[in-house]
Amino acid sequence: MRDETVRLALPAAGDATERPISIAIVAMGGQGGGVLTDWIVQLAENHGWVAQSTSVPGVAQRTGATIYYIEAMPPLDGRKPILSLMPTPGDVDVVMAAEFMEAGRSILRGLVTPDRTTLIASNHRSFAIGEKIAPGNGIADKGAVSGAIGVAAKTEIIFDLNALAIAHGSVISAAMFGALAGAGVLPFSRESYLDVIKAGEKGAKASIGTFEAAFDRVQTRSFDDAAAPASPPSKVAPSPVAPDARLAGLVARLKELPEPATAMARAGLKKVVDFQDVAYGGEYLDILGALHAADRNAGGDSKSFAFTQAAAKYLANAMTYDDVIRVADLKTRASRRVRIEGELELSEGQVLQTTEFMHPRMEEVMGMLPAGFGRWLGARPRLLGWLDRRVNKGRRVRTYSLPWFLMLYVVGGMRGMRRRSLRHAVETAHRDAWLKAATEAVRTNYQLGVEILQCRRLVKGYSDTHSRGLSKFDKTLAAIKLVERRDDAADWARRLREAALKDGPGKELDGVIQTIKTFA
């Protein structure tokens, strides 16, 4: 085939070295990516360079990071350069990532190359929405990114920039600016960087301290996070709690359990008592003691009492379900406000107001009612539907405004009514049926009993999330009944549980169930 392409002579407009310095910054909402971009542009312009910045925002704060792109170069013979609006794979000098997995995504995009790119990244994690909402462990593997960085980048500067910023009362953008200065990839002095920060009004002092700390660590190549300064202690010290003699008695009962299960049982006891009261903690230990007896009779001592260890964890989770009372209690705790203030890195004098979206259903309200009255109401669908149309509405709640706070505080204080409520009766019946299935299984198939206990991982959350998890749990246990007499029943139980955890819509779980039905 003859090539008839017309080739025109297009000589280069200048030397190949006449190219801008290109910097890509990947940051999420609240990390100061825009401020860092403005600083770098101002730094270049202060030296007479021509600089241009663009940004492509992500969908939301943690469903997509914003990519900021900067190109800068000095004018040539009075002519201003034409600069690009977007980074080109293989042609980026510096990539700055404010979170570790974003560094990995930059490598996948081709922005980091071994012949050109200096990679500056924080190795801390800020979990993505997809990682948080996964029913099981959805956390991405950092190891894959660590391995890629050593191959993909020409120079790598990786340490916990976020922890360093928090320790100095600033945000990560100041630490990244200091790391950029310490890397020496731009032909500007340290003082030039500091002049840019000083020109700002808000938080300049804290930003300078963070900048200098990051600069020094890069200059000395001190990337061991163990040597970094510790974060400042919380501004609010925990109030001393008077010892409870009844609680001390429960703690003493932990000695009745085998050593491998003691630590988990202690954590479970603490969780159950915090959820309800000391008497509820006693019920937890009573049930756990009965399960341990079944474990011992099934020869659990030769298996490190794995059944008791699993029971200590998942029984506590089953007994501390999320109801309206629990949600209201958690949202009005002082410790929650302190945690939020710490996460937002509030400075002294700043005012925090929280607005939350709540969408209660009549099911949650009915669950708070006494069990008898709740069942009576549930048997009258027309009345229930009429009430639901008035309750089932989205509301924006200012949690720390006085009216809403008092209402939630009163609801959170109704835990004394919980054990007589319809929701508690339903949860208790469901819990007892699950434990009965596990106890019967452990007598003939020890590992199957453990797997049934671990199926409780499927039930979590509140409202619709809880309903979906409970539906998967019931389907999984029903499928386990079909294979419980097989030698490989424990393996199939594990496959069912893992399929349910990985698959949000439940299609993968349905596929495993259909496979079981072909031979059950």
Sign of CA dihedral 290, 296, 299, 304: positive
Cα separations (Å) of 32 from 28, 56, 113, 421?
Answer: 8, 15, 25, 48
Instruction: State the pLDDT at residue 241.
Output: 41
Interatomic CA distance for residues 201 and 36, integer angstroms: 15
Structure tokens at 100: 């570790």
Q: For 133-164, b where at least 16 C-beta lie within 10 A, e where not — what string?
A: eebeeeeeeeeebeeebeebbeebbbbbbbbb
Interatomic CA distance for residues 344 and 31, integer angstroms: 10
Instruction: State the pLDDT at residue 144.
Output: 65
Cα separations (Å) of 254 from 250, 257, 264, 429?
Answer: 7, 6, 10, 26
Q: Which residue has the tokens 């309750």?
A: 391
DSSP string, 66-114: EEEEEEEE--BTTBPPP--SS--TT--SEEEESSHHHHHHHHHTT---T
Taking residue 303's Cβ as centre, other Cβ atoms within 10 Å add up to: 16
Identify whether the C-beta of residue 232 lies closer than 8 Å to the C-beta of residue 164: no
Instruction: State the pLDDT at residue 240.
Output: 40
Instruction: State the pLDDT at residue 433.
Output: 96
How would you class 185 by CB atoms within 10 Å of its CB: exposed for 0-12, middle for 13-18, buried for 19 or more?
middle
Structure tokens at 205: 């002092």
Find all residues with CB under 8 Å of 517, minimum gap 6, and list them.
Answer: 482
Question: Could you give the 3-state DSSP secondary structure of residue 25?
Answer: strand
Q: End-to-end CA distance of the chain, in Å?
A: 63
Nearest to 130, CA basis, from 438, 502, 512, 380: 502
Nearest to 169, CA basis, from 122, 218, 210: 210
Instruction: State the pLDDT at residue 314.
Output: 95
Under-50 pLDDT residues of the chain: 12-17, 60-63, 227-242
Instruction: State the pLDDT at residue 60.
Output: 45
Instruction: State the pLDDT at residue 13.
Output: 47
Angle at 229 between CA 226 and CA 230, to 5 degrees: 90
Nearest to 446, CA basis, from 414, 484, 478: 484
Interatomic CA distance for residues 279 and 80, integer angstroms: 77
Q: How far is CA 147 from the centre of its chain?
A: 23
